[in-house]
Structure formats: structure tokens, C-alpha cells
Amino acid sequence: MAESAEVSHAPGHDDHHHEESFWSKYVFSTDHKMIAMQYMFTGMAMALIGGFFAYAFRMQLAFPGMDVPFFGTVSPADYNSLVTNHGTIMIFWVAMPVLIAAFGNYLIPLMIGCDDMVFPRINRLSYQIFLLSAIVLIASFFVPGGGFGGAWTSYPPLSAKPEYNLTPLGATLWLVAVALEFVAFLLGGINFITTAMNARAKGMKLYDIPMVIWMIVVASILFMASVGPLIAGAVMLFMDQNVGTAFFDPDKGGDPVLWQHLFWFFGHPEVYVVLLPALGIVAEIITTFSRKKLFAYRTVLYTVFGTGILSFTVWAHHQFIAGVDPRMAHVFTVTTLLISVPIAEMCFVYIATLYGGSITLNTPMLWALAFIGEFLIGGVTGIFLGASGADIYLHDTYFVLAHFHYTFYPIAIIGTYAGFTYWFPKMFGKMMDDRLGRIHFWLTIIPFNLIFIPLFFLGAAGQHRRIYNYEHFPDLQGPLMLGFTYQDFREIATYSLLVMLGAQVIFFYNVIKSWISGEAAGNNPWKANSLEWVATSPPPHGNFSEELEVFRGPYEYSHPDRDEDYWPQNEPA
Amino acid sequence: MIEYYLVAASSFARDIDMVFDVVFWSVAFWFTLTFGAFIWLIFKFRAKEGVPAQYITGEEKSQKKYISYPHFAVLIFDVLIIVMAVRVWYDVKQDLPPADHTVRVIGQQWAWTFVHPGPDGKIDTADDITEIDELHLQVDSTYHYKLESTDVLHSFSIPVFRLKQDAIPGRVITGWFKPILTGEWDFQCAEICGIGHGIMAARVFVETPAEHEAWMQQAMNQQPGQQSELQLAANAATVGE
């Protein structure tokens, strides 16, 4: 397989350092690094919108009926639209573009030692469709009737009939935006898999591929294998909304539960689609900053494949109480709890990697370690929900909400910050301010826990999700625990959110300041092994000045035969 | 643990709480151990001048056991949790003990309609008592519920009973519960059902046989349907605000 390296080294590709216009360099670029940055910053801009929505609905929950600054009063329709689009944005327009598309685009060619993606124009098309999908989604907030408010899961009949959801245009635009977004990532996925498998540098064997690249490849395969049913479902839902078909309409022989199967058959693997790249990023960072070889590389790799396959067999745990045959719950309880084995394995491997290391706690390492710690909480709280007997009570409560934020937040936010701060020197050629980075880290991670830990308790005490004002429920007003009332806990979560959102200013300030006046990074500031650190920072169009040859795996840190504590992959023995 | 926040007012509430507790203690044990090792390693192996990191591949059997032994332990806990969860699930959702009474529960945007049996003890007869957003039950009786929806998905969820079941238009879903404590409690619709989802509040009253009898007499004397319409109008007004 290694011989196929010349695929990407088309003749004449190395000597094309011609001047490019602004448009072809920044807007219609086919350079994988520019497309990665487009995905990265579009994703971050969408994260600001998603964060603003969270701010608006959490203010409403803490202070019902208040005139929320910069938003106004939150009506029930507004509230539903805010929670729906917060979820949709954070998963489809933040986690997906940043973790898969931005890091995948940036890292794959650089880490496997080739000059670009194998299909650069498909790559450009992928971003353009993605941008279009984001514009369609944003437009859906401003149409008559307002944005769609039927939850990010969009269950029919509510999502299918305007007379039920009262947002005829919003619901359709939401669906079109999601479908377009899937097209964008299908195109991206083709590119990622093909490039990683066919364009590797000379000598790079399958076991020499850095873990983050493997994880992105497996994630792309999962995405492509699971998204088909949902696209079919989306077409059916679109027809139900606009053409008058009745795929999900029980009055005319349809079945609303069918949608749930199609949605979650995609929706659960989707968790792993975004989880795996984040796990990969963390693997690169903890090996670099503990100067250790990744513990049991091959075991990790097989575990990733196993997790991928198993992730297709657990979807109906989202539907335990949805009216499916009760006997089905037994099967899905078993598969769901079994998936704890590979996930626990991954955590154990990372923790074992720390053993015997020489650990430096700088900003990227703090983020990577925080990922492990916080994700552990997300993992163990999932067991409660996977156990069918306990899920009867916990389903659709704030316990679920807190649980999946403890998985998605480490993935989408912590994983992104870890990767971004780690590769920032490569992306921009400058070092980030580590002190500001660490302040930003603590001011993000402490409030994050203070937002969601109270929500576990509210959920365990029987508070259900997606209700805009708990004043209608006298039982959810009284004392909860430790002298606090239910409402106190809602307020603690909201205040913590305000602190956390405010702290993000530090991050953007740090990015701009370091970009302009940061210390020059040099090619390999972290003394890391993988190939991207051979290129200049930032890498030019075409990435490498010479063809690379690979002699070993990416994690040969602190090898006993060497004086240096790292051993770049391309350095001859 | 759940009982600290909410009384266990149905016959199966304690069983569900027990699954929660078993899971809690299993994962608390694992989490403390793993998290403790994690934090300890971070402090123990901080970079020190002149102390190089060790070269450990993790590919040898003697090293791999540090991740494979914990695995077997995770599997054992998994099996324990699966057995507990499946048994409770079977009792609550799959098994259907014979009923003393049956109630019909109908979800609609955005209210619950409860059809209670009248003095004849049967539903779908002339003396049925229909109430909006108020469910009246007799303590220590086993109830079957017939759950329906007239429009979108709703979810019939009574936290003090640890009961939850989605309502699906076009289907009648049968389940059961048995209240064991008297009292009255709120419950919320648990599946988003449109802009009025947040006000789809209802209240359950679990009464002694005497109280239940009194309620039934009083309800029979009321003009049928009158209260229902008033309640629906009130809900509509709240949504419109």
C-alpha cells in the first residue's frame, strides 16, 4: 500500500508557488489547509450562535418571563425554537465541521505526508455546500412562523404537520439545511478515506498512521454507513410536510415510530462519529506532552473498529419507552452496556499512557486531560440510561440532558480547544500565550461542571426537559437538597453559563493577539514525531519541500536507543 | 437515592430506584478508582529535570494485563446491571398483572384527558367520569391504563410512580401501575409536543377508598364536560400569552 504514495504527487505539483488572487486563495481555494480554516471558523461562528441560544433559554429558565438582554422576552414558541436549534447547531454545525471536517482536512495530508487531498475540488464543493446549509439554517429563524421548534430529533407528527408545529417554513428549511449538511460531509468523507488510504508517504504502513487519522477515517466510514437511512427518512419527512404523503401519518396508514428508527440508526453512530476524532486528538496530545509511546497502539486500533461496529446495534435505547415492543429493550440493554467495554478500554489506555511519563501541563495538555476526566463522567452516567429499568424513570429528564452534555461538551468544545491550541503553532506559525490559555481553560472547565452537575440532581428529582417555565409545576418549586430549592439550582446553572460564555472572550483575544504578535513557533515547537511537524509553520501550498519517507510509527518517544526523547517518523535510523 | 427527592408512590417505584442505586454504586466505585488513578498519575509523573520518561509499548502480555483485568471487572458489573435492569423492566413493562380498574389516558395538544370508570367500575360506559388534567386513583388498586394520543407524540410520565410511556397517535398502548401512597402530585408531559408543551401540566390524586367514593359522587353531580371545556380554554389562553 505504501507504494501508492505517488498518487498525490502529480507531476509539476511541487513547483507551483505562483501568486494567487485574494479570491482564489481565501474563498475558492482548493488547498486543504484553507478549507480546514474555513470549516474551523464557520464552525466557531456557529458555536457563538448556539451559545447565544443557550444563554437566552437558560436566562428564561432561571428568571422566567424576564426581558432577556439582547434577546427580549422568550415566548414558548421562541423557547422551543431556541432549544431545538441549539442542539442542531452544536451537533451538526459545530462538532461535525470542526472535529471531522476542519481537523480532518488540516491533519490528514500533513500527517500522512502528502501535498493535498486527493480530490481537492470535491473538497471545495463540500465546504460550499456546508456553508449553504448554514445559511439555510440561519434563514429558517427569520421566516414567518419562526424557527423550527420540534426538538433536534424532529419527531413526527409534530415535525410533519404545520397545524401541529405552527412553523411551516421553519420546519422545512430546518430539514433542508440538515440534508444539505449531510451531502457536504458525504463528499468530505469520500475524500478523507481515499486520501488516508492511498496517498501516504513512502514507507508509511497501516500501523504507522497516527491514531487521529485512523479515528477520522473510521468516523467517516461510520458516518457514510449510517447516514443513508436518515437521508431516506428526511426525504420522506419532507414529502410528508410539503407533498401530502403519509409515511409518518397514522391517520393514513403511516407510522411515526418509523422516523425514530431511521433517525437513531444514524443518531447513535453519530455520537461516535464526533467522539472518535476527539479521542484521536487527545491521543496525539497526551503522547507528546507525557513523552510516552501510546499504550498498546494495535489494541486501541482494534477497539476503535469494534466500537464502530457495536455502535450500529444500540440505537433503540433512545426508544425504550417510545412504544416499541417491550421485549426489544432487553436486546438493546445488552448491546448498550457492552459498548461500555471498548469505551472503558480507551480510557484505560490513555490513563496507562500517562504511567512512567514526563508530563508537562501546558494548555493543550490540560484540555486533553480534561477531556478524559469529563468524558469519564459522561460515560458512567450513560450506564444509568442504558439500563432499561432505570431509564423508565430517567428518560427525557434533565439527567439525560446532563449526561449527553458530559459527552458532547468534552467532544465538541474541549476536544476542539485541545486540538486548536496544540496545532495553532503549525496553523499560524506563532505560539499561543500559555498563561492566557490556562486562565481560559480554568474559567471554562469549572463553570462547565457547575452548569451540568446541578442538572443531574434536577433530573434525578423528576424535572423533565424542554419545558419553558417550571412555574406551572408547584412540585418543582420547593426545596431540593442542601438547603437549595429547585429554582436555586436552575439559577446556579445559568450564572455558571454566563461566566463560561464570558471566558470565551479570553480565547478569541488570545488567538488574535498570538496570531499578530506571538513568538515565532518554528517547525516543531513541541518536539513531536508525526510528519506535520516536518513542514514549515504555517505549511506552504503543497505542504512539504521534499518527498518524505517514513521509517517508524508516530509515538516513538523516549526510545532507549536515542539521546533525544523523540524520534521523528521521517528520520532515518 | 431517588427517594431522597421524591416519594416512591407506586408498587414498582422501589424496584426502579434499586436499579438506579445498583448502577450508582457500581459506577461510583469504578469512577473513583479510575479518576483517582488518573489524577495520581498526573501528579506522580510530572516532568522533572533529568528524569526521562519510560519506554513502554503496552504490546506485551505483562503490560496489557493492566488494561485487560479491569475489563473483565467492567464486564462483570455490566452483567450484574443487565440482570437487574432486565428483571425490573420485565415486571414493569412486559408483564401485565390483572387489573382492579382501567383508566383511559388521552394526550392532545396541550392537555390530558382522563376517562375514569364510574360506579360500575368499567370504562366506555355511560357513567364514565371524564376529567381534564386531573387523574383520580384509589390507593392500593392495580390500574391498567389505555394510552392514546389524538395528534402528536406525548409522554405520560408520573415521576412519583416512576412511570413513563410515550403516547402515539393511532395506537392504544396498555400498561399498568399500582399506587401505594395517598397524596397529590404534579406531572409533566415528557415528550415535546408543540408550543404548549411547557404548560401541559396535570395532577394525580391518590385517594383512600372513602375519599375516592366522595370524589366520584361529586363528579357525577357535575355537568359532564363543563369543567373540561373551561380547562381547555384556560390552557389555550395561557399559550396565547
Place of cell 404548549: B196
B146 touches chain A (CB under 8 A): no
Closest in A372, A393, A476 to B164, CB measured = A393
- pLDDT at residue A6, rounded to an integer: 41
Is B197 near chain A, with CB under 8 Å?
yes
Residues 220-279, chain A: which have Cβ within 8 Å of B? 250-251, 255-257
At residue A36, the pLDDT reads 96
Do residue A349 and residue B48 have CB atoms under 8 angstroms apart?
A: no
**pLDDT (0 to 100) of residue A24:** 81
A537 pLDDT higher than 70: yes
- Encode pLDDT of A473-496 as tens digits: 999 999 999 999 999 999 999 999
> If you search the block for the grid coordinates 473538497, which residue do you land on?
A123
Which chain A residue shows the shortest CA-CA distance from B89?
Answer: A389
Task: Specify the CATH number of the domain B101-240.
Answer: 2.60.40.420
- Mean pLDDT confidence for A175-203: 95
pLDDT confidence of residue A11 = 42
Reported as a pLDDT band with limits 50, 70 and 90, residue B228 is low
Average pLDDT, chain A: 93
* pLDDT band of B72, cuts 50, 70, 90: confident
CA distance B186 to chain A (A): 6
Q: Please list every residue in chain B whose beta carbon sits closer than 8 Å to the beta carbon of residue A292.
A: 53-54, 56
**pLDDT above 70: residue A161:** yes
For helices A76-88 and A32-62, the axis angle rounded to 10 degrees is: 150
Instruction: Spell out which residues of chain A touch residue B160, defining contact as CB-CB under 8 Å.
Output: 462
Residues B212-220, mean pLDDT to the nearest whole number: 92
Residues 51-90 of A with CB under 8 A from B: 75-77, 79-80
φ, ψ of residue B60 in degrees (nearest 5): -85, 155
Share of chain B above pLDDT 90, in %: 77
Q: How far apart are CA A281 and CA A385, in angstroms?
A: 28
Q: What is the pLDDT of residue B233?
A: 62
Which residue from A352, A356, A480 is facing B5, i.e. has the nearest CB? A480
Identify the band that residue A9 occupies on the pLDDT scale cut at 50, 70 and 90.
very low
User: Structural domain boundaries of chain A?
Assistant: 32-533
The 10 Å Cβ neighbour count of residue A480 is 22
Measuring CA to CA, which residue among B163, B155, B138, B237 is closest to residue B196?
B237
**How many whole angstroms separate alpha carbon A188 and alpha carbon A183?**
9
Q: Is B121 left (phi over 0), alpha (psi -120 to 50) or beta?
A: left
**Average pLDDT in the A313-329 region?**
93
What region, left, alpha or beta, does residue A95 occupy, with left being phi > 0 and alpha being psi -120 to 50 degrees? alpha
- For the beta carbon of residue B18, count every other beta carbon within 10 angstroms: 16
pLDDT in tens, A116-133: 999 999 999 999 999 999
User: What local confidence, expressed as pLDDT, does residue A4 receive?
Assistant: 43
Percent of chain A with pLDDT over 70: 97
Distance CA A156, CA B191 (A): 12
Number of inter-chain CB pairs under 8 A, A vs B = 291
Q: Which residues pair with A287 in a beta bridge?
A: none
Cα–Cα distances in angstroms (integers) from residue A328 to residues A324, A334, A467, B19, B197, in the given order: 7, 10, 29, 19, 28
Q: What is the pLDDT of residue A59?
A: 97
Residue position matching grid coordinates 412555574: A471
Q: What average pLDDT does range B98-111 have in this prediction? A: 95
The CA distances from residue A501 to A217, A243, A299, in Å, are 32, 42, 39
What is the DSSP track for A315-374? GGGG-TTTTS-TTHHHHHHHHHHHTHHHHHHHHHHHHHHHTT--B---HHHHHHHHHHHH
Across the interface, of A360, A376, A389, the residue whose CB is closest to B84 is A389
pLDDT above 90 coverage of chain A, percent: 93
Q: Which residue of B has its CA nearest to A299?
A: B59
Write down the H helix ranges in A414-465.
Answer: 415-428, 434-460
CA distance A406 to A446: 13
Beta-bridge partners for B201: B188
CA distance A480 to chain B (A): 7
Torsion of the alpha carbons at A197, A182, A27 and A425, rounded to the nearest 10: -50
Cell numbers given for B65: 494485563
Alpha carbon of residue B32 to chain centroid: 28
- A380:B31 CB<8 A: yes
pLDDT for A465 equals 94
* Distance, CA of A567 to CA of A556 (rounded, Å): 6
Contact B204/A at CB under 8 A: no
Residue of A105, A97, A188 whose CA lies nearest to A137: A97
Q: Cβ atoms within 10 A of the Cβ of B128, count? A: 16
**What distance in Å separates residue A259's CA from the closest CA in chain B?**
12
Cross-strand bridge partners of residue A485 = A479
Residues of B in contact with A361 (CB under 8 A): 42, 46
- Is residue A215 within 8 A of residue A304, CB to CB? The reply is yes
The CA-CA-CA angle for residues B85, A327, B3, to 5°, reads: 30
- Rounded Cα distance between B136 and B122, Å, is 15
B109, closest residue in chain A (CA to CA): A164
In this prediction, residue A352 has a pLDDT band, given cuts at 50, 70 and 90, of very high
Which among A341, A360, A388 is the nearest to B74, CB-wise?
A: A341
Mean pLDDT of A212-240: 95
A483 touches chain B (CB under 8 A): no
Flag whether pLDDT at A110 surpasses 90. Answer: yes
- Give the sheet arrangement for strand B101-108, strand by strand: B129-132, B111-116, B101-108, B143-149, B173-177
Across the interface, which of A383, A473, A558 has its CB nearest the CB of B201? A473
Over residues B131-162, the pLDDT tens digits come to: 999 999 999 999 999 999 999 999 999 999 99
Instruction: For chain B, give the mean pLDDT.
Output: 91
Q: What's the CA gap between A507 and A438, in Å, rounded?
A: 10
**Structure confidence at residue A459 (pLDDT):** 96
B98 contact A CB<8A: no
In this prediction, residue A25 carries a pLDDT of 81
- State the pLDDT at residue A525: 96
The whole-angstrom distance between residue B93's C-alpha and the CA centroid of its chain comes to 11
Determine the residue among A148, A158, A258 to mutate to test chain B binding: the one whose Cβ has the most chain B Cβ atoms within 10 Å.
A158
* Subunit contact B70:A348, Cβ cutoff 8 A: yes
Say whether domain B7-94 belongs to CATH 1.10.20. no
Mean pLDDT value across residues A311-330: 93
Whole-number Å distance between alpha carbons of A251 and A359:
63
Contact list in A for residue B164 (CB cut-off 8 A) is: 321, 392-393, 395-396
Note the pLDDT of residue B210.
96
Cβ distance B45 to A334 less than 8 Å, yes or no, reads no
C-beta atoms of B86 and A558 within 8 A:
no
**Residue A102 has what DSSP assignment?**
I
| Mean pLDDT computed over B98-116 | 95
Q: Hey, where are the domains in chain B?
A: 7-94, 101-240
With beta carbons less than 8 A apart as the criterion, state whether A523 and A532 touch: no
B133 touches chain A (CB under 8 A): no
| pLDDT tens, position by position, A77-88 | 999 999 999 999
State yes or no: pLDDT of A406 exceeds 60: yes
**pLDDT tens-digit map of B18-63:** 999 999 999 999 999 999 999 999 999 999 988 899 999 998 888 8
B72 contacts chain A (CB < 8 A): no
Tell me what the mean pLDDT of segment A419-448 comes to. Answer: 97
Confidence of residue A12 (pLDDT cuts 50, 70, 90): very low
Element (H, E) at A514: helix A486-517
Question: ipTM exceeding 0.90?
Answer: yes
Least confident interval from A256-270, B60-74, B96-110: B60-74
Give CATH superfamily name and number for A32-533: Cytochrome c oxidase-like, subunit I domain (1.20.210.10)
Task: With cut-offs at 50, 70 and 90, classify the pLDDT of residue B231.
Answer: low
3-state secondary structure of B194: coil
- Between B67, B82, B169, which is nearest A349 by CB? B67
Span B196-210, average pLDDT: 95
For A376, nearest residue in chain B (alpha carbons): B31
